[in-house]
A and B are shown apart, each in its own frame.
Chain A
């Protein structure tokens, strides 16, 4: 399966690599939301965030924070946005988990701000109860993360969610 980000790390792409180690890579892609955008992603091919092991997730975002600082200081940016598009519905284009860091300036013409949605009390309450029930089960992630395995829920979810456009499912089968 062709993956643009795997191509980057195999040097089959014109993207510039700024940093890499055994697990993670920082690159400047040729297609980006805005000029100056940097992308942090794990070397191993994981489709969505839920599949990425805990330590790699942590590392990706620690690096993203440092990238953000570097952008502030060296590009004269007034701010940065850190975005993950996780899943098709969230605008994910490449089936490889990645963190995007976007420099922002006054009047840069980017609009990443959403308009708040009016929800009925009923909707608010049901979603709250549903999420809280599952959230309570998580207890303290920091303490019990070693024991916890991630995959089952994701597999279930993914197969249920899209019959048509299914790179997520394909790559799930690929993962050992």
Chain B
């Protein structure tokens, strides 16, 4: 809400801080033009509608037939959405992409999601863009470039541990992690047992990293997952602290709150 004065903004922030998670969600919903569009209070050109989501034509399209696919439930950011709904939304995008290819005679489609204002997210209602493309239309122009091997190694080092925790992959030689400690929802889509096995067969290049991680792990094996997530989130959540939690799906991840609050 950029048009508010400094004082109004402060008042609003105060008000928001005092809200319970339920109130906050309701408040966001009332403010959200896409929720109004879904409920039909704002007119739109709807091309698909089911129990969980709708697809409408974008009013400021990148090209003819540019669609927005959004969940009917209000989610400000993607990490709040349960796996099942993510799966459904993107499945719908697959079928609608097929429709676009067929009826618009285009030679491709982009599925595009922006998470966070810096990535181009403008609304506080999660949506995915489906953009019909033709060669030479210059809509999303990106070039692949060679990423330096040192940089890639750094990326791997940074992200691997957290990613494996999120995916429920157990670290090698540390199989006795109690089920309850893993913060992966009980979705069938990620077969934990299998993936852990394949990983054991295939992972050897990062032995150094693993031993470093293991040293810490061995002290309190049962708490590893929690520790890891606390560590990473505390890094990012330095700026704002006592924030209302409105994220049932990912309780405890303060950094996600930060991202959600970018849109307040």
- Complex-state Cα separation, A9 to B120, whole angstroms: 32
Q: By the criterion CB–CB under 8 Å, are B143 and A33 in contact?
A: yes
Interface size class of A (residues with CB under 8 A): 35 or more
Instruction: List residues of chain B with CB within 8 A of the CB of A67.
Output: 163
Does A162 have its Cβ within 8 Å of any Cβ on chain B? yes
Instruction: List residues of chain A with CB within 8 A of the CB of B191.
Output: 21-22
Partner of B91, one of A54, A75, A156: A54
Instruction: List residues of chain B with CB within 8 A of the CB of A145.
Output: 91
Q: Which residue of B lies closest to A83 (CB)?
A: B112
Given contacts A20-B202, A54-B94, A61-B90, contact A75 B158 (CB under 8 A): yes
Given contacts A57-B94, A80-B116, A141-B92, contact A89 B108 (CB under 8 A): yes
Given contacts A71-B159, A104-B119, contact A19 B146 (CB under 8 A): no
Among residues 131 to 146 in chain A, which have CB atoms less than 8 Å away from a CB atom of chain B?
Answer: 131-136, 138-143, 145
Q: By the criterion CB–CB under 8 Å, are A49 and B146 in contact?
A: no
Q: By the criterion CB–CB under 8 Å, are A134 and B99 in contact?
A: yes
* Total count of chain B residues near the partner, CB < 8 A: 106
Q: Closest approach, in angstroms, between the C-beta of B61 and any C-beta of chain A? A: 6
Q: Closest approach, in angstroms, between the C-beta of B93 and any C-beta of chain A? A: 8
Q: By the criterion CB–CB under 8 Å, are A62 and B102 in contact?
A: no
Q: By the criterion CB–CB under 8 Å, are B110 and A65 in contact?
A: no
Q: Closest approach, in angstroms, between the C-beta of B58 and any C-beta of chain A? A: 8
Among residues 70 to 124 in chain A, which have CB atoms less than 8 Å away from a CB atom of chain B?
Answer: 70-93, 99, 104-106, 108, 110-117, 119, 123-124
Q: By the criterion CB–CB under 8 Å, are A119 and B61 in contact?
A: yes
- Complex-state Cα separation, A54 to B213, whole angstroms: 37
Instruction: List residues of chain A with CB within 8 A of the CB of B114.
Output: 79, 81, 112
Does B219 have its Cβ within 8 Å of any Cβ on chain A? no
Q: Which residue of A lies closest to B50 (CB)?
A: A140
Q: By the criterion CB–CB under 8 Å, are B64 and A89 in contact?
A: no
Contact with A along B13-44 (1 / 0, CB 8 A): 00000000000000000000000000000000
Q: Which residue of A lies closest to B119 (CB)?
A: A79
Given contacts A17-B202, A116-B62, contact A66 B50 (CB under 8 A): no
Given contacts A63-B190, A74-B232, contact A18 B163 (CB under 8 A): yes
Q: Which residue of B lies closest to A37 (CB)?
A: B147
Q: Closest approach, in angstroms, between the C-beta of A141 and any C-beta of chain B? A: 5
Using a CB–CB cutoff of 8 Å, the interface residues on chain B facing chain A are 45-48, 50-52, 55, 57, 60-65, 67, 78-79, 81, 83, 86-92, 94-121, 131, 133-135, 137, 139-149, 151-153, 155-156, 158-164, 166-167, 169, 187, 189-191, 194-195, 198-199, 202, 205, 229, 232-233, 235-236, 250, 253, 255-256, 259
Task: Contacts A19-B163, A85-B108 known; list 6 others, CB within 8 Å.
Answer: A33-B142, A57-B87, A61-B87, A69-B79, A92-B108, A135-B55
Query: Can you name 23 A-B pairs with beta carbons within 8 Å?
Result: A16-B156, A20-B199, A20-B202, A38-B159, A49-B94, A49-B97, A50-B97, A54-B94, A62-B86, A69-B166, A70-B159, A79-B121, A81-B119, A82-B113, A86-B108, A86-B110, A87-B107, A89-B134, A90-B131, A90-B140, A112-B140, A130-B104, A153-B102
Using a CB–CB cutoff of 8 Å, the interface residues on chain A facing chain B are 14, 16-22, 26, 28-33, 35-38, 49-50, 52, 54-55, 57-63, 65-93, 99, 104-106, 108, 110-117, 119, 123-124, 127-128, 130-136, 138-143, 145, 150, 153-154, 156-157, 160-162
Top 7 nearest A-B pairs (CB, nearest first) are: A79-B116, A87-B108, A90-B108, A89-B107, A58-B87, A89-B108, A79-B119
